[in-house]
Structure 1
Amino acid sequence: MEDTVDEDPVESDPRLLFFYTYLSKTIKFKVDKWQKMMGNEEFKNIIMSFLDDPSNNVLIIRMTSAGVLMPSLSFPSVGRSKASYFIRKYPEPITPENYQKLLIYGDIAPKPVDELAVLVEEVFLPLLSNPGNHKYWPSVVVTDVKNHVNNLRSIVYKVRGEINGQTLLPMPEGIDRVFKVEESLISSRGEDCDLQLKSAIEGAVIKWAKQVNEVIRQQSSQVFEAGGHPIPVAGVREAREIDRFLKPLKKRIEAIESTDFDEIAKLLPPMLHVLCLTWVHCKYYCSSTKVITILKEICNLLIEQANKYLDPSSIFQGDIDEMIPRLKTVITVLKDFKYALFCSLVKIREDYNSHGGSCHHSDISSNLLGDQPLDSTSAGLSEDLM
């Protein structure tokens, strides 16, 4: 049976029938969804308030994730589903006689930033950049308006990329004529230079450098500190790169986990060497903060292994002649770990310097042991172990 709207004083209102007809074509719902919304006194009052009260300029009706039609008198701050809007042209009550002349209506996509990007690119930019529209404008106003609309386009482009988990670098104004300018520059042997385009490109490069620097400084833990709830899709590429470097490290750590504590000392230097190589060569782990996090986790693993080896619940109940060697073993292993760590750091720095690079990785030692340099720390450890 074809869906129809029951004939009653409310549903027979031409204004409401217009809403129903339009929404059923755009949002595509069955008649019972509409009836449930109109049967809700609160929702019904919102719709009637928009129609009768000229101070309410906008009506938004959207389908929630639960499949419920929900009206509101303002644009939703967050929306994951398609919605429709009805806007009052003039501050007058909307009556059955004037609703067709008084309403502007349309749809809101689940991703409004994408719509905004199209609106800026296809409407605002051509409209405000067209010389035919600048006929009676002062030159200062023309320049200012063009700068503002191009800045708006760049911001929307950048934000759109961030929402999609990408770093997008906005192009400078006039980039479409760059090849023509290049030909002119070459044919004139550098005399015919488009200074306006040159200035726009230089400004864009400065913004790119700042934008890239912000991305490089980001830490994956920042989204959690800010109260965010990220999903893994945005970091798939990063995860693949990290996985390629951390797989060898995982094997070394698993070997330590499956080995008796009194035999793991020989496994520590290879594991730490792999960690340092990851630190140097993996672009996502070149930050000392991330490496220190892994080091802390490795320290926690050693503490846990030592705890199992000593069995604190029976340490003062067993034979003292048996417990003292175990305590000495734990102390020795932990000292070996500390010494192996700094030996690996020194070796990495020496390798950097031998290839003509400037090693900036000494900040790990600063974070762990204050301002002590690697060499003096390692020497002090050597003396302690002798």
Structure 2
Amino acid sequence: MADKKDVASDPRALWLLRRVCCVFAVRRDKIDKFLQQFWADEQSCRALNTFLQEVEVPVIFFHHTSSGETCTAAVGDLPNLAQMKKKVLACVRTLPEAEIELEPGKRPRVVLVEFSKNMMDVINSYCHSVYLSVLMNPANQKGWSDLISRDLIDKFHSYLASLHVTAGLMRGQTLLPLPPREAVLDSTPGGGGVVASKQGPGPGSSATATSTSKDRVHVLEGAVVTWTKQVRYVLKQEPEHVFKDGKHPEPCAELQFWRSRASNLNSIHAQLQMEGVKRVLRFLEANKSTYVAPFSRKEVEDAREEANDNVRFLKTLEGHINTLLSETADFDELDRIFDIVFHVLLLIWRYSKYYNTLSRISVLIRQICNSLIAQATRFISGSSVFEMIAAGEARLPKTPPYNKQTTLQITTNQKQNNH
């Protein structure tokens, strides 16, 4: 209670909480209620008092509650995933052990940093639209040599490219970073300008290296090398990889793999149709660059067609797979469900253009067998079998109204079907 009284009477606490209200967009008529509920939480009051009184505490986090009517505070613990789904605000001391002073003429030595679930997109947007413009402004480069300016801008473009790619990966997408806008101006064979994409720069590119055609070729080749690595990484992913590290995936993993692969390849296909990408590739082809040949768009198109076709056919299995995976499924009905699944699988083998090879269908059959094993262990656990053997029981009890013979019969039937 002492912490609550101390912090409630501290003008620094009220100053800080009013800024929290601004960030969390609390309406004016709701501010008093917001603060009252915050003061009612002793743990939050204690955390705020600790941050204000102990200068060695560098940061305090404010978490917007699910109701949106107030917030909670914590020091020492980073926000978890559940808290990151709502707004999170961090109040950070600008200097180690800096005091928060509100006296006239002095600035409180703290900064407020807002976190959200799409944090990478926010950072990506700020870096491209704000910081890049500031850095490229000649007024901000006074006193810099050409070497320093070129090196700094080159490294910043490399950082922006990595940031752009990372933001895409966090959304499950492969984003192809384009070179800096300055690097592709006048890069067409006829001298016409290229309208660069807003997606951002490519790694290893120098925004000032556009004075000669040779420099532009070098910059654009760096972008194509990056695209080639990204595309090859996507293309080399195979369904068999889910069995690595001793995992035992079930059929839902196969369906999800092809959905993700189709979505990713469709996204790459759309990016390759962008005018900026086409002009970069045309310019390199006109300059006889050796880096264009390895970047085969035909491989992407073939893989994309296969993924979309497999998704279309495997979708017919989805309802039966969900029944097969259900923990409430009636075990003696699984024999009938397996018959349906394998009948649909036979039709897919017969009519699918791509899912009719042993390497493709064997993965799904292994996963179906994993589902059978999982259902059998739910029905009769291995530990209970050994406990009964140790107890000298000759047979398993018939409660629930199935027994070991049912399990063996169903698993044997599926083994015969697979052969």
Q: Same fold (TM over 0.5)?
A: yes
1:92 aligns with 2:92: no
Q: How does 1:1-386 map to 2 (within 5 A)?
A: 10-27=7-24, 28=26, 31-32=32-33, 34-65=35-66, 69-73=71-75, 76=79, 78=81, 79-90=84-95, 91-97=97-103, 100-105=107-112, 107-174=114-181, 178=184, 180-182=186-188, 184-185=190-191, 194-219=213-238, 235=260, 238=263, 241-246=309-314, 272=346, 274-275=348-349, 278=352, 281=354, 288=359, 290-296=360-366
State the Cα RMSD in Å: 5.0
Find the aligned partners of 1:60 and 1:300 in 2 and give their Cα distance.
44
Aligned residue type for 2:217: K
**For the Cα contact (< 8 Å) 1:52–1:94, is it kept in 2?**
no
Distance 1:102 1:248, change over 3 A: closer
Q: For residue 169 of structure 1, report the CA deviation from its aligned partner.
A: 0.5
Unaligned runs of 5+ in 1: 1-6, 305-310, 315-326, 339-386
Find the aligned partners of 2:110 and 2:43 in 1 and give their Cα distance.
23
Q: For residue 166 of structure 1, report the CA deviation from its aligned partner.
A: 1.7
Distance 1:301 1:15, change over 3 A: closer
Q: For residue 50 of structure 1, report the CA deviation from its aligned partner.
A: 2.1
Q: For residue 97 of structure 1, report the CA deviation from its aligned partner.
A: 2.7
Highest relative contact order (Cα 8 Å, sep 6+), 1 or 2? 2
Q: Corresponding residue for 1:364?
A: none
Identity of aligned residues (%): 23
Q: For residue 154 of structure 1, report the CA deviation from its aligned partner.
A: 1.0
Distance 1:302 1:235, change over 3 A: closer
Find the aligned partners of 2:244 and 2:73 in 1 and give their Cα distance.
34
Distance 1:19 1:277, change over 3 A: same
TM-score (norm 1): 0.57
SS in 1 for 2:186: helix
Distance 1:143 1:152, change over 3 A: same
Between structure 1 and structure 2, the one with the greater Rg is 1
Q: For residue 299 of structure 1, report the CA deviation from its aligned partner.
A: 7.1
TM-score (norm 2): 0.53
SS in 1 for 2:18: helix
Q: For residue 171 of structure 1, report the CA deviation from its aligned partner.
A: 0.7
Distance 1:11 1:250, change over 3 A: closer
Give CA deviations for 1:207-234 in whole Å, capped at 9, x if unaligned: 111111222233568689799xx9x798
Unaligned runs of 5+ in 2: 194-210, 248-252, 264-306, 322-334, 376-402, 407-411
Q: For residue 199 of structure 1, report the CA deviation from its aligned partner.
A: 1.2
Find the aligned partners of 2:62 and 2:345 in 1 and give their Cα distance.
59
**For the Cα contact (< 8 Å) 2:183–2:219, is it kept in 1?**
no
**For the Cα contact (< 8 Å) 1:185–1:193, is it kept in 2?**
no
